Amino acid sequence: MKKIYTIVATVLLSISVFAQAPEKMSYQAVVRDGSNNLVVSTVVGMQISILQGSSTGTAVYVETQTPTTNANGLASLEIGSGTLVSGSFSTIDWSTGNYYIKTEVDPTGGTTYTITGASQLLSVPYAMYAKSTAGVVGAQWTTNGNNINNTNSGSVVVGSTLSNSNLKFYVTNNASPKMGIGNNGGFNNINSGELHFAEDTSYSAECGIKIQHNGASNSLYFVGGCSAPDTIARFNRSGYSNMRQLRLGLNYNSNPTTQLSVDGNSDFTGNVTITGDLNVTGNIAKGGGTFKIDHPLDPQNKYLVHSFVESPEMMNIYSGNAKTDANGYVTVIMPSYFEAANKDFRYQLTTIGTFAQAIIKEKVSGNKFVIQTSTPNVEVSWQVTAVRADKFANENRIVPEKEKEFKGTYLHPELYGAGNEQSETFARNQQLIKEAISKDNTIKNADGQ
């Protein structure tokens, strides 16, 4: 009687989730005759069955093959590539229990199988089982062209197991790096990694926001849009940043209307240069102020600098020249808003070209006033200074002397031989830091941190 001895039941599993290889496993057997002699260089007929549960269990897969033994009587074949009799090798659920391999042999190469053997697959291809993510029901990895898919409703975890999770993907190792996205095999590559947040993953074009690394410019880009995305921001690894528009403040869902919007208080230490106009709707507090222009006589090499005229009151100044008539009178017409915007008028008159007396004959009334000179036809230079009387000025009068909020500090400590820690800005920033820490301590996350 002839016997078959299984040498290796599962030598190599050919399936690979990422390589897209066919689902097979290599199998080898030695065929000997009744005298225990090797059956060499002979075509033999074989029927292979995968049995579930026991050596006489239900056959979940059956196929036939006709391999040729080699000079050592060894028959080599790949289970999963033979002629199908029943079942499907790719759909065997290796997680449901023990499996056995049953081999039937016809040493003449036909289908009259006279040699039968069965043995448990102790090295069952449980790498196939791994495609179901270690037994999670319904979480099968499937291939679709160059893609792999998984319908798992839980999380994919790389690293130590998580007991509770509300995210779909985790990397839980404590060492670095956690996860890498980048170019493999060269520096200065324009496309050195992208992470997409898609509004609709089934949309054929790009719609959403992506983070893109450009190795050529050593920059990380935030790109957004729908069908035609464009750069939102750029961060260079040397520390330089560019943003199309930015709003700082607590109104997170309100879009900026300008390139830079700041809600709330802001503090600048150092010089600030503004090229263009500066519009301020509130008050300005300053140590001094000037205009600075190219010098009219040497614009390429010098500046011309003049100081502001300061006053403890909010003042407006109006001036001009007027000539009295043959009777020594002249009426000066002021702008139509003059009395609506001003009060407490003060006058100055200077005669030009001749000695004469000049007086304000009639004070401002109806947005005009009258000058009289002691002799006719006299040119008079006049100036009217007035206190602002508009609604903003009435609500925001200047208080010339005020108590400091931070006692013992200076606006300009260096002028008094004091250090920076005695500056008002330093004291204010320290208070803001304390307030921020105190506020943070009242806010607890779900884990109490």
What pLDDT does residue 397 have? 94
Instruction: Decide which of 104, 131, 158 is a domain's last residue.
Output: 131
The gap from C-alpha 395 to its chain's centroid, in whole angstroms, comes to 44
Q: Of all helices (H) and strands (E), which one includes residue 428?
A: helix 424-441
Does residue 234 fall inside a structural domain? no
Query: Percentage of the chain surpassing pLDDT 90?
Result: 44
Q: What's the pLDDT band for 1 if we cut at 50, 70, 90?
A: very low
The phi, psi pair for 125, rounded to 5°, reads -65, 70
User: Do 427 and 409 touch, CB atoms closer than 8 A?
Assistant: yes
Tell me: pLDDT of 378 over 70.
Answer: yes
Tell me: pLDDT of 447 over 90.
Answer: no
Tell me: pLDDT of 381 over 80.
Answer: yes
The Cα 243–Cα 240 span in angstroms is 10
User: Do 334 and 407 touch, CB atoms closer than 8 A?
Assistant: no
Q: What's the pLDDT band for 18 if we cut at 50, 70, 90?
A: very low
The Cα 289–Cα 287 span in angstroms is 7
- For residues 19 and 124, membership in a common domain is answered with yes
The pair of three-digit structure tokens given for residue 361, joined into one six-digit string = 């004959």
- For residues 162 and 89, membership in a common domain is answered with no
- For residues 107 and 23, membership in a common domain is answered with yes
User: Domain with 70 in it: what CATH number?
Assistant: 2.60.40
- For residues 332 and 388, membership in a common domain is answered with yes
- What mean pLDDT value characterizes the chain? 84
What pLDDT does residue 13 have? 37
- For residues 55 and 118, membership in a common domain is answered with yes
Higher pLDDT, 344 or 447: 344
Domain range for residue 156?
133-171
Q: What's the burial of 324, exposed, middle or buried (CB within 10 Å: 0-12/13-18/19+)?
A: buried
What pLDDT does residue 442 have? 66
What pLDDT does residue 346 have? 97
- For residues 84 and 142, membership in a common domain is answered with no
Can the peptide bond before residue 22 be classed as cis, meaning omega within 30 degrees of 0? Answer: no
What pLDDT does residue 338 have? 98
What pLDDT does residue 120 have? 84
The Cα 444–Cα 449 span in angstroms is 6
Please write the tens of the pLDDT for every residue from 135-159: 444 556 777 777 877 777 777 777 7
Does residue 103 fall inside a structural domain? yes
Q: What's the pLDDT band for 12 if we cut at 50, 70, 90?
A: very low
Does residue 218 fall inside a structural domain? no
- For residues 11 and 118, membership in a common domain is answered with yes
DSSP 213-251: EETTTTEEEEEEEESS-EEEEEEETTS-EEES-EEESS-
Distances from the Cα of 397 to the Cα of 265, 344, 401, 438, angstroms: 22, 15, 12, 35
Mean pLDDT in residue range 59-82: 91
- For residues 330 and 366, membership in a common domain is answered with yes
Distances from the Cα of 404 to the Cα of 256, 264, 389, 407, angstroms: 35, 22, 28, 6
- For residues 36 and 66, membership in a common domain is answered with yes
Q: How many domains does the chain have?
A: 3
Does residue 292 fall inside a structural domain? no
Q: Model-level pTM greater than 0.85? A: no
Tell me: pLDDT of 7 over 50.
Answer: no
Distances from the Cα of 190 to the Cα of 183, 185, 193, 236, 444, angstroms: 9, 13, 9, 14, 42
Q: What's the pLDDT band for 387 if we cut at 50, 70, 90?
A: very high
What pLDDT does residue 46 have? 92
Does residue 389 fall inside a structural domain? yes
Does residue 10 fall inside a structural domain? yes
- For residues 114 and 151, membership in a common domain is answered with no
- For residues 149 and 123, membership in a common domain is answered with no
State the CB neighbour count (10 A cutoff) for residue 38.
16
The pair of three-digit structure tokens given for residue 65, joined into one six-digit string = 């093959």
Distances from the Cα of 10 to the Cα of 7, 77, 115, 126, 436, angstroms: 9, 11, 20, 10, 64
What pLDDT does residue 443 have? 57
Local structure of 276: helix, strand or coil:
coil
User: Do 341 and 389 touch, CB atoms closer than 8 A?
Assistant: yes
Please write the tens of the pLDDT for every residue from 391-401: 999 999 999 99
Does residue 244 fall inside a structural domain? no
Please write the tens of the pLDDT for every residue from 153-207: 777 777 777 666 667 777 777 777 677 788 877 888 888 888 888 888 888 888 9
Does residue 28 fall inside a structural domain? yes
The pair of three-digit structure tokens given for residue 263, joined into one six-digit string = 């809600």
What pLDDT does residue 146 have? 77
- For residues 25 and 88, membership in a common domain is answered with yes
